[in-house]
Amino acid sequence: MRFIKRLVARYKIYLRKLNRRNTYDTEKHGFNAKQCSYICRKLIHDQNSELLFAPISYKIYIKNEEHGIFITMEGGEVTITNHTYSYFIKLNNEQWIKLEKYFFKEMEARAMRMENDLEFHIKHSLDTIYNKINQPTILS
């Protein structure tokens, strides 16, 4: 009977140690994923960053020359590369969806700004053409 009690106690201790290791790894991974998500959001929002979406491969690219960082995102996996190191981080589904939405929201905002800028120049140009046509011409 005493042998069985010791065996059960050892097994409980083993399970506790196993659970501690998993918790530590999960916390460390969670911290890395949060840092990765923060870096991506910061670079997506930066106006000096080039944003590119490849619709066939469904890959997202972020390039920032000023900071020397290149990011590739695909299917919940993020690769952050600077001039010396490359980091590979796997995000959970919730983080991936939030980051993807943030990227597409910023892409849409940039597209709208570009469209508004083009429309402003077209309107100005059309006004110039209209004024030139309405001016009386002097024939010699």
The pLDDT, as a whole number, for residue 140 is: 53
* pLDDT (mean) for 75-100: 91
Give residue 10's pLDDT band: very low, low, confident or very high (50, 70, 90): confident
* pLDDT score for 18: 65
How would residue 79 be classed by pLDDT, with cut points 50, 70 and 90? very high
Looking at per-residue pLDDT, the higher value among 85 and 15 belongs to: 85
- To the nearest whole number, what is the mean pLDDT of the chain? 85
pLDDT of residue 136: 73
Question: What CA–CA distances, in Å, run from 106 to 52, 67, 113, 124?
Answer: 11, 19, 11, 27
Long-range contacts of 41-44 (CB under 8 A, 24+ apart): 41/99, 41/102, 43/67, 43/69, 43/71, 44/102, 44/103, 44/106
What is the pLDDT, as a whole number, of residue 45? 94
Q: Has this prediction a pTM greater than 0.85?
A: no
Supply φ then ψ for residue 135, to 5 degrees.
-75, 135
Torsion of CA 76, 33, 16, 11, to 10 degrees: 30
